[in-house]
Structure 1
Amino acid sequence: MMKYHTGVVLNLFLLGSTLAEMTLGWTYHYSNTTMNWTEARKFCRDKYTEMVVIQSQEENNYLVSFLPNKTGSPYYWIGITKKHKNETWTWVGNNSTWIGNQSWAENEPNNNDETEFCVEIYLNDGKNRGKWNDEKCANKKFPVCYRAQCNTTSCSRGRCQETIKNTTCLCEPGFEGDRCQTAKRCDPINSTHGSMSCSDPNGSFSFGSRCTTTCDEGFVLNGTASTECNSLGMWSADIPSCLAVECPPLSRPDNGYLSCSGGNQTFNSTCQFKCYASFLMIGSPVVTCGVNRVWSGPRPWCASIKPKRSSAMQAV
């Protein structure tokens, strides 16, 4: 038969001596046979996943709306317990310690005879409907179980979390997508006047990628050589640049000119010297800045060209 509840279609079906309700997340199950708490847990673990875990007041209310009110014995075991009176109440299905402000019935838990280390939920009518009571574990109640929909393949790089209405993947840092299947990407990077080598465990320029820049001959690194794509999709350091090495500054020769390509005196730049009229250049007119920050030759100089005196002038 079909049952409609809070806008979600729920299917009830009979499984031998148990009933199950289908939700969009996990499935709830209960037995029509009463058992002590230990037997109830074994029943749940053998047939399903574990005794029911309640993670919020909303889930508590939802469970109450699902479970039938058994005539004369409206009590069900739930999967929260402790081993002695000084321990914290703990859910056996996920080791959480959630207890809502409205969970316990009035004057509960009272640990009667200091042996009440298991918990039942009331399904009787009245103010305590849906409330909890600590109870002796040897007493017999109806077990409530759940079957998990999450499995090892539900979330590629994340943890599968189930609620009463859906299944959600909580992604590990650096991953996204409905199944946490995609690594976050950083902006693509490259190097000018250099080469870049990257290790990409999760895809090019993605979370975990580590890139290292090596500059070409004649260029030096400006910045940090290595950077890594972090879990936010950002590079851990600014992308470095490769700057051309600089040779010692040149000055124009006396009685001459100096002109350098691009207006600078860095690697592979050439500088050309010229002399004024009536001056002769001594040395190479062109020098180039080399990889070792040294010019290819010394700076030339301009020598004066003296005119020869005529024979008539010499005879005077």
Structure 2
Amino acid sequence: PPYAPTTAAVGGRPTIDTDIPAISVFLLLYIGGAICNMTIFQMNRRKGHKFLASWGMFGFCMARIVSCVLRIAWTTRIHNARLAIAASIFLNLGVMVVYAVVLVLASRVLRATQPRLGWNPVLRKAIKISYVGIVVVVILLLSFIIASVETLNQGVRTASLWVQRASNLYLLLLNCVAPIFLILSCILPKDPESENFGSGSMRTKKIILGVASFFCLFISGFRCGTIWAAPRPASDPAWFHHRALFYLVLLGFEIVVIYLFIFTRFDKKFWVPNGSQGAGDYSGKNEKAVEKEAAFDSDVQSV
């Protein structure tokens, strides 16, 4: 052990002529994303402008850098099972950070536009539980993927497959939440206590969130569909296992979300005062948020 999987996976076995040039381009894009997100995070931190989503996106880019490096290493050592497994693990786990970030942004939009619904204690607890669910998914996936490659026991491998299916189904349902929040913020009657936050109009925030939600939902739907499909031998992959879809959907759509956030300066548009606990806190209407909001406005005007 470990024993390399005998079933087909999205992207298939990489080849030097095709995959190394392609993955190298994505590696450079992820490096650029990591540098930009960390630079923005540090610049904001020095100004007292706390926005952890930038740090989260930096962490995601770093995880993808590792994924790309491992895939390149696997390409040059195609029969090394450990490299193949490590590349697969990092590929499956990293994207959950983006899912969590999009859900956070969607929650902020709903709370600002529909404060009675968005700040509802039951909904807030449900959102927190969903974050815990992501952690549980990471632990389960990591544990069962490793267990399945360390044995030839068919029972363990079958259990691992169903854990992966259930986990991907959960992530797909989780990615449906952000679009639902966005739709509710658009179709429900305007709340008299609605407010804006950060910089830019609420319409701009909704467009950014809508685009990011679409790509995240597409990625999670594609992942869920491929894992729930009947397993096929590596020698007879299905159309959805083609490496073109690997680079377009699994990596390409992630790049779109990363640079969408960077170029639109989501660190300013989706920023809210620290310690916000209810309606009025986001826009500084409440006394405890006024001082922090004023400091942020000064920073925005100076840029």
Q: TM-score, normalised by structure 2?
A: 0.19
Structure index of larger Rg: 1
Q: Which has the higher contact order (CA 8 A, sep 6+)?
A: 2
**Structure 1 or 2: larger strand share?**
1
TM-score (norm 1): 0.18
